[in-house]
Chains A and B, each alone.
Chain A
Amino acid sequence: MKENIQMQLSCPMPKFDFTTINLGHGSGGVLTHNLLNSGVFNILQNDLLNQKHDGAVFELQGQLAFSTDSYVVNPLFFPGGNIGELAINGTVNDLAMCGAMAKYLSLSFIIEEGLPIDTFWQILNSIKECCTKANVQVVTGDTKVVEKGKGDKIFINTSGIGVIHPKANIKLTNIMDADVVIVSGNIAEHGIAIMSKRTGLEFETDIVSDTTNLNFTIQKLLDQFGEDIHFLRDATRGGLASVLNEIAKDGNYGVDIMQIDIPVNEQVNGACEMLGLDPLYVANEGIFIAVVKKEIANEVIHFLQQDENGKNAKVFGNITQQHLGQVILQSSIGGKRIVNMLPGEQLPRIC
């Protein structure tokens, strides 16, 4: 787990003549310009954004990947991160899972009127820090404000374009019989960190979100192993179980996994026991699954364990020609069961 670092505001907040964002800030008029010019453009500035066009115009070489995602997390700030970090890391990671290094992002806000400007400023700062860390630029964007009650404080959408690594060939159809399934680290930390702060559920814990950018880790992995990395996916919403089911069902493979080999932090395990949740279905934001050629499994693990995003990487399963379309887990006591897709949100149980 990451250390719980107090948020440092890298840019002091400019003097705004308002304390909360209101409908006028999304009108496109003077207030919108005030908000953008005194804050957003300055903090995120780069050559392309500074042109303030309707869109960004640029050249890119090579095969490209394009991805989009929306962020609606509640609460906005949680142990280990905030919605702004998720919005950058999420799209950077989606591109990374295609084998691409993110280059340019779009960034759109839908703000519910009444959002304190300092909350918005904190989120913007996190966005900037994440962009710097992931070496990606926000080159176009949008801000809309909706009436009180029509949103939930702030929603963010990011889309991104990235350049595919020359050695990457990541496709579901590349997965082969006997390939091994690797998880990059301890699962379920993001979801439990969020839940520990939800109204009505608050509990004391040191667990922090695992949100981070995975693009450099994936690039190094592809530099080293190229086409032998058959498939990558980040295990975000729906957790590990959902990714495995997508592999099994969309690719028509069988997947065998071993409960004993799935890395789960003890505190996370304890929280899941208490809340009646299965860590296999709890969300992650900095964890990915790699399906790789059997022969390179040990090397990949060794390689990942040297990386800050793969210290607890483990082989926990393999692809099989048996039980096509199904994920079968061998429990820690040796029994076997299906791991299915979740029918809806995981709800806490009665007793």
Chain B
Amino acid sequence: MRILLVEDEPVLAQQIKATLVTEGYAVDIATDGIEGQALGVSQPYDTVVLDMGLPGRDGMNVLKNWRAGGMRAPVLILSARDGWTDRVDGLDAGADDYLTKPFHMPELCARLRAMIRRKSEQANPVFERDQVSFDSRTNQVMVAGRTVNLTAQEMAVLSYLFHNAGRLVSRTELSQHIYQHDGERESNTIAVFINRLRKKLGDGLIDTVRGRGYVIKATE
């Protein structure tokens, strides 16, 4: 899952990024409204964290421009403006959630997970197929009740496929959603991650459609 973080305070941005990377997300940072708006429309983000008081262009205008241009990724506003009018203005402008500073990092993570699940129309934070279960809250993966350790990249691939269960996902799409903007993108490495996941979780979970991509079947 790839997240855009638009925050002008560099220390806070790095703190949030560090936490989100630990949680298995790929994170791009924009430090002003103009850069943030450009990234939001040019990259396929799974969710966005948007500050309001930004240099260059106010967060509210960035959000309105995104929505006017058809950008559909869920957006969480993270702002020091804690009045209810600001919150409702943000939600009315197309935000999906609003969190005020100072905030608890676990709450930010929980809200981002919930937004991503809602976008995937998955009510339960625990994904289950056959013998495999994936808890999106803790990134814990179990096969037949036994915990399996995955690398961060393997976890990112599994998480994206689970959140898009029932839909064919190409290698390019996968690489766009598990690597951050400044990271090395090697779509061939996707095949390596898929093979490792099959070894750890069994052959039956991820189907390959030759030349087109991968799919985890939807629940019945």
The answer on A and B forming one complex is no
